[in-house]
Amino acid sequence: MAQYAKSAAVREGIIEACLSAFGDSGFHGASMAEIARRAGISHTGLLHHFPRKEALLTAVLDLQDRRSAAYLAEHSAFEPGSDPLVLLRGMATALIDRDRQPGLVELTAVLSGEATRPGHPAHDYFAQRYRNIRSFMTRLFARLRDEGRLSTTLPADALAALVIAAMDGLHTQWLYDRSAIDVDGTVQDFFASLVPELAIPGPA
């Protein structure tokens, strides 16, 4: 059991090192030797846990899903009787939470740009991730429109695409100037402009 815990801790350290290395240099720019150095282990030790760099990428993307995208993967939460606003707040919280994990924000920004090429190991991952988010949000906005709770006439699928673009763009700007961009507040204000019920009442 102790050996298993030690091995798990080493793997976790390697993945954390990947967040840093991939965030700085991208998937193709980061070498296995550099990742091993950042993880504080030998190159041979790294290969024992992750024989190929593609396996490292998969582990890092899995970590990102567990930390910040689990809510979006749980489409079963979208039940007929559930309030779409609760789901919208939950989705926003899951995405905004990346602010507190700069390595993940940097990694996503670098990899999502690199992975537009069909041959990139993460291409299918990001393509499916965007499809899932758009599908989830399109259904959510369609429900809100049917209930007369939207303040815009834009189609639900267009709203979904625009919200994703706004979130990604805000996080990119935040990486350049973290003191100037309030992602949390800006996202809340943006959602409130689409769904008036989400507006936070001002002081009396």
pLDDT value at position 204?
46
Residue 149 to residues 142, 152, 159, 185, 186: CA-CA distances in angstroms?
Answer: 10, 9, 14, 21, 20
* Domain map (residue ranges) of the chain: 2-198
Q: Which two tokens stand for residue 180?
A: 């100037």
Q: What is the CATH number of domain 2-198?
A: 1.10.357.10
pTM over 0.85: no
The yes-or-no verdict on residue 141 having pLDDT over 90 is yes
| Cα gap 109→83, rounded to integer Å | 31
The mean pLDDT of 119-148, rounded to a whole number, is 90
Question: For 47-56, how does the pLDDT look when each residue is reduced to its tens digit (9 = 90+)?
Answer: 999 998 888 8
DSSP 1-15: -HHHHHHHHHHHHHH
Residues 144-174: tens digit of each pLDDT: 999 999 999 999 999 999 999 998 898 889 8
What confidence score (pLDDT) does residue 101 get? Answer: 63
- 58-86 pLDDT, tens digit per residue, is 888 777 767 655 555 554 455 666 788 87
Residue 33 reports pLDDT greater than 90? yes
Of residues 77 and 44, which shows the higher confidence score?
44
d(C-alpha 85, C-alpha 82), whole Å: 9
Average pLDDT over residues 166-187: 87
* pLDDT at 45 (0 to 100): 92
What are the φ/ψ torsions at residue 102 (nearest 5 degrees)? -55, -35
What pLDDT does residue 3 have? Answer: 63
Distance CA 183, CA 173 (A): 9
